[in-house]
Structure 1
C-alpha cells in the first residue's frame, strides 16, 4: 500500500467516524469530559500502521475498511485512547477488533461512579485466604506474596471494587475459570496478548466480571465486554454471520442491542437514554470506487 493510498484511506475513515460522532452528539450523545476524539483517532491511526496479522500482514491492508472504521468508532464511543494503553486493536481474519484493556476498564468503571478498582494476581505459593460475609460479599483476609514468588505460575486473580458508598466488593476467579472464559472467544485465548501478557489479560478478565454489573446498570453506562457465556449463541457462528452481513457494504448499522464477539468476551451496545445512540447508522464511503 502506497503512502498516497494510505492517506486516502485515513482521510475517508477518520472523517466518516468523526462525522458520525458529530451527528450523534447533535442528537444528545455525549462523550466523556476532557476527551478529544480527534486526538484519540490520530493516535489510533499511528498505532494501526504497525499492527500486523498472524501471517505478518499489515492490518490496514488485510482487514476490511468497514471493520477498521467500526473499531475506531467503538473506541471513540467508549471514550478511550490507545496512546494511554486504554485499548488496543487485534486483527481476526479480515476483521479488526478494538479491545478494552485493563486500564480502559478501570477508566470506564470510575466514570460510572466506582471510587476505585484494583486487580491482583494470585501466584503459586502465595498465602491467600478470603471469607464470605453474611451479605454474600467476599473479603480478602490475607494475601502475602513474597518477592521470590514473582514469576511463579498464575493460579488465579481477584478484583476489589470500591462502591460509591465506600463499601468494597471482591470477585475472585481461578486460572481455570479465567481460561474457560478465554475459550468462549474467537481466538480461544491464543491471541498474542494472551500468550505474551497472561497476567494482564487475567486481571482484565476478572476486572471485567467485577465491574460489569455496576457499570451496565448505571444511567449512562459505557460499553463493557461481557463474558460470552452470558450470550446463548455460538461465538464462531455469530462472528461469521457478522462478517458475511457487513463485508463490502457501504452502510454499517450500530445497534444498542447487537453484540460483537471479541476474544473471550461479547460486547453489548451502550444503554443510554439517548434514542439516537440506540439505533445509529454510519454512512461509509464506497470503498470499491
Structure 2
C-alpha cells in the first residue's frame, strides 16, 4: 500500500462520490446539487477523522462502502451535514441511518396526500395523555409537565394532513425497548444510550410511516429508506404494531426538490471499482476545506458516527 495523505484520501472519496452521483443522476431528486452534497459529505468524513475511535473504525471501511452509504442519503434528498441522516462505521462497512428529522422530511416529501405537519413526542411520568375514537373520528390529547425530566413511559407520533384529517400511532416504552433489543442493528449504540428520547421518537415515526402512503417510486429510494430505519424486521411483526408490508412502486414522479438548484457535473459513464481500506503510513494533516453553508442546521442528536472531534497532532497517524 502506497502512502496517502489526508487530502488525497478525501479527494479519492470525493471523486468516487461525484462519479457515482453522475451515474445515478436519474434516481436523484430534481434540482439536486451534486457539488454541494459531495462537499458536505467530505466535511462529515473529515470531522470523523478527528476522533481517534472513528479513525480506527474508518481503517476497516473501504472507500466504495463509504460512497455507497452517502449515495443513499442523496436518493432521499437528506443531508449528512445537517444531521438528517448518518454515516456510521459498523462491522467493517459504512451503514446508513436516518435521523428523526430525516424521517419527517421523507414523509412530507413522498406522501401521496399533502401533509400539513408531522411530529412525535415522548410521554413522561406525570404527563396527561389520552387517545381514542369519538363518533368514528380519532382523537388525541396531550398535556406534558413543563420541563419534566421524569422517566419516559412511551411515545406517540401524529401526521396532520392538509384536509384536516389525522393519523397517529403510539408505543409504550416497553414496546420501544423490545423493538430496539430484537430488531435494532446497533442496540448498544451511543444514540440509544445517550439520546433515548430522540430514538423513541424516531421509532414511533417509522412505525407511523407504515400508515402513510409514501410514493417511493424508484427501487433506489425504497432500499435507502428501508435501510435507513436502523432496524432489521425481516417481514416480522413489529412489537405492538402492524406487519411490515412489501414496498409498493406507484408510478408518480411528483418529487419535491432536495436542495437548491446548482450546477452539476457533466454526465460520464465510469466503471466503479471497489477501493481498498486505507492504511497509509504517512497520513499528514490536510488543509481545511470550508463546508458549504446549510440553509438550516438544527441541533442533532448525538450519534455513534459523530462524537465530539479532537484535533490530532500533525505527526499522528490516524490509520495504522
**5+ unaligned residues in a row in structure 2: which ranges?**
237-243, 253-269, 279-320
How far is 1:186 from its partner?
2.3
Identify if the C-alpha distance between structure 1 residues 20 and 202 changes in structure 2 by more than 3 Å, giving closer, same or farther. same
- Give the distance between the partners of 1:219 and 1:10, measured in 2 at CA: 33
Contact 1:48 1:60 in 2 (8 A): no
> How big is each residue's C-alpha offset from its partner over 1:158-209, in whole Å with a ceiling of 9 and x where there is no partner?
110023433111011111111122121222x210011111111110111111
Map of 1:173 onto structure 2: 171
Identify if the C-alpha distance between structure 1 residues 130 and 272 changes in structure 2 by more than 3 Å, giving closer, same or farther. closer
How far is 1:38 from its partner?
2.3
Map of 1:228 onto structure 2: 232
- Give the match's secondary structure for 2:27: coil
Aligned runs of 1:1-289 on 2, under 5 Å? 4-25=4-25, 28-33=26-31, 35-51=32-48, 56-58=53-55, 59-113=57-111, 114-132=115-133, 138-140=138-140, 142-147=141-146, 150-183=148-181, 184-187=183-186, 189-219=187-217, 223-225=224-226, 228-231=232-235, 271=249, 283-284=272-273, 286-287=275-276
Aligned length: 242
- Give the distance between the partners of 1:57 and 1:128, measured in 2 at CA: 41
> Cα RMSD over matched residues?
3.5
- Give the distance between the partners of 2:77 and 2:4, measured in 1 at CA: 29
Q: Larger C-alpha radius of gyration, 1 or 2?
A: 2
Asked which structure has the greater RCO (Cα within 8 Å, sep 6+), the reply is: 2
- Give the match's secondary structure for 2:21: helix
- Give the distance between the partners of 2:97 and 2:80, measured in 1 at CA: 10
How far is 1:215 from its partner?
4.9
- Give the match's secondary structure for 1:31: coil
Map of 1:256 onto structure 2: none
Alignment TM-score, normalising by the size of structure 2: 0.65
